[in-house]
A and B are shown apart, each in its own frame.
Chain A
């Protein structure tokens, strides 16, 4: 038996236990050198897998240096991030989430988010209107957008209006996303606008009108996709001539890769694709979390990440990347209205749009 000896703060006599402690501490020092030496604090971000490249290149290095912090980026899907927050609600390990707006609404409903304020995130004051949601629960740091993707071999001039898709010459040549996909919803609002002729803010709730107008599109539909790559492959092969509500991030990338496709921003306007960022309530190192969001909402970072993601910046000081629509009407989507009614719309779509 070894006797435990405590001798106050001055001297420590060597016992087996003190030796073990020292050994353990040394071992920890070797195993985790970064943490011990630099004393860097860490934040974990739950985002999309597709965000990883630009986070790691354009955001992480500068941020880690400036704040002497470490960022761990967990790239997955929005709903998975929501689940991570729900499961660890009592002891959150994520500090920040980068998720789609519809999923943000669910997170707000469950009380998982901490509001952002101008006091904590000064760059919030520099954002375009319509990019801060539910009293600062989350903000949009980028706006990839949805317009019309078209085959450049078939259509020599870009479609100028969404209504062109109704032209009988496009019989069986139009593709739209399913309402199951988030990108499928704007078509519903656009067709409500086309049906009523009223401005979008007044028209979008007229879902009856939207479905009535969509009946006119039916003969022109080639298919309703749930897998976007399939839709683009049909467009590139020339079997389809247009995809209504296509994502700029996908369409512009394909154009860059040399595919005969391009994106049009028609006169009725385009829709921003929700790229939201929020602070997790009670998450670790909240001050760092707010600092990170401030960086992402700043003009400097946005001007770096907007071009490779084919998105519009949300900070008014950040320039619109070349090749992007500069004067297009941008409609905001009422995601709370979507969340309330989406299942009903999907059901109705099945019945009324069936082939």
Chain B
């Protein structure tokens, strides 16, 4: 029996968290999974069969994945340089940057969504800026459009991209890049051959964070897109809260879960592999 127990006693430190997750995450999750595959006459996959047979649900899956990927991409493009700058900054500047990144997390999503409403509306800051710079001839609608949703969601999730990348960048020995420079490597070449591979694990976990948060977001699309745009998360919420169709809610939740888990597990495996080769 004893040989199944971990030899390294330090591993026991994970016990409280594991116990907590077993009770409050794994058990409800198993219950949810069960509900989606057990019909009135025993085990069945009919819920999934009818879910996937409906063309509209594929559109919902498409919406969910497209928005999550776009949010991840925008967060990456904005977040990566910030993480590099944050690692390079020292003293007060670094403290200020970190505060600026972390503090917005304490503002609730609902407050942010209402703020975005003011920024994105037709006489809002963004529309005025685009008209003033001549990009737009006249103010157009950004609110309740997919670009508006992506901009808003990326704003909410940005810290989850920056922080994992930053934690990896700050461990990189700056002398590596300097050594490259003395050997005549251009800044771009040094970035591509030294910085990028070394930051890959942080980059992948940041992407996994932002992707799984945005693939399952519920409040942000409800407030920034409204009821005309369904994702798997909003469809799940509605099945439970309005239609009282718990079986359908369980099925959509399981589809969402499988998508999110495969992305997170896939990216973790990828990041470990890259970490080893780097």
The answer to the question of A230 belonging to the interface, with a C-beta cut-off of 8 Å to chain B, is: yes
In the assembled complex, which residues on chain A have CB atoms less than 8 Å from the CB atom of B80? none
A180, B114: Cβ atoms closer than 8 Å: no
Report A-chain residues with C-beta under 8 Å of the C-beta of B223.
227, 230
Binds A, one of B11-19, B188-196, B237-245: B237-245
Q: How far is the CA of A242 from the CA of B176 in the complex (A)?
A: 62
The one of A224, A346, A350 that contacts B56, using a Cβ cutoff of 8 Å: A350
Residues of A with C-beta under 8 A to B228:
221, 223-224, 353-355
Partner of A346, one of B114, B118, B145, B243: B243
CA distance A346 to B222 in the complex (A): 16
Q: Which A-chain residue is minimally distant from B219 (CB atoms)?
A: A227
Inter-chain contact B229/A354, CB cutoff 8 Å: yes
CB–CB B114/A355 < 8 A: no
Is A88 an interface position by the 8 A CB rule? no
Q: Are B227 and A178 in contact (CB under 8 A)?
A: yes
A239 and B143 contact, CB distance less than 8 A: yes
Q: Report Cα–Cα, A222/B141, bound state, in Å.
A: 9
What's the nearest-Cβ distance from chain B to residue A78, in Å? Answer: 13
**Residues of B contacting A230 in the complex (Cβ-Cβ under 8 angstroms):** 114, 117, 223
Specify the main secondary structure of chain A where it touches its partner: mixed
In B222-268, the 8 Å CB interface with A consists of: 222-223, 225-230, 238, 242-243, 245
- Summarize B's interface: helix, strand, loop or mixed: loop
Q: Is A18 an interface residue (CB 8 A)?
A: no
Report B-chain residues with C-beta under 8 Å of the C-beta of A238.
Answer: 123
A86 within 8 A of B: no
- Alpha-carbon distance between A227 and B114 when the two chains are bound, in angstroms: 12
Q: Does B122 contact A (CB under 8 A)?
A: yes
Q: Are B243 and A354 in contact (CB under 8 A)?
A: no
B121 to A226, Cβ gap below 8 A?
no
Q: How far is the CB of B122 from chain A (nearest CB, A)?
A: 6
Interface residues in B116-138 (C-beta closer than 8 Å to A): 117-118, 121-123
What 0/1 pattern do residues 103 to 120 of B give for CB contact below 8 A with A? 000000000001001100
Q: Provide the residues of chain B in CB contact with A121, threshold 8 Å.
A: none
Does the CB pair B230–A354 fall under 8 Å? yes
A sample of 12 cross-chain residue pairs with beta-carbon separation below 8 angstroms, ordered by A number, consists of: A178-B226, A178-B227, A179-B227, A223-B225, A230-B114, A230-B223, A237-B117, A237-B121, A239-B117, A239-B143, A346-B243, A355-B144
9 nearest interchain CB pairs?
A223-B226, A224-B227, A178-B227, A355-B228, A239-B121, A223-B144, A180-B242, A224-B226, A224-B228
**B residues at A contact (CB < 8 Å):** 56, 59, 114, 117-118, 121-123, 141, 143-145, 222-223, 225-230, 238, 242-243, 245
Residues of A within 8 A of B (CB): 172, 178-180, 221-227, 230, 233-234, 237-239, 343, 346, 350-351, 353-355
In the complex, given contacts A223-B225, A354-B228, what are 13 additional A-B residue pairs having Cβ atoms less than 8 angstroms apart? A172-B141, A222-B141, A222-B144, A223-B228, A226-B226, A230-B117, A237-B121, A239-B117, A239-B122, A343-B243, A353-B228, A355-B145, A355-B229
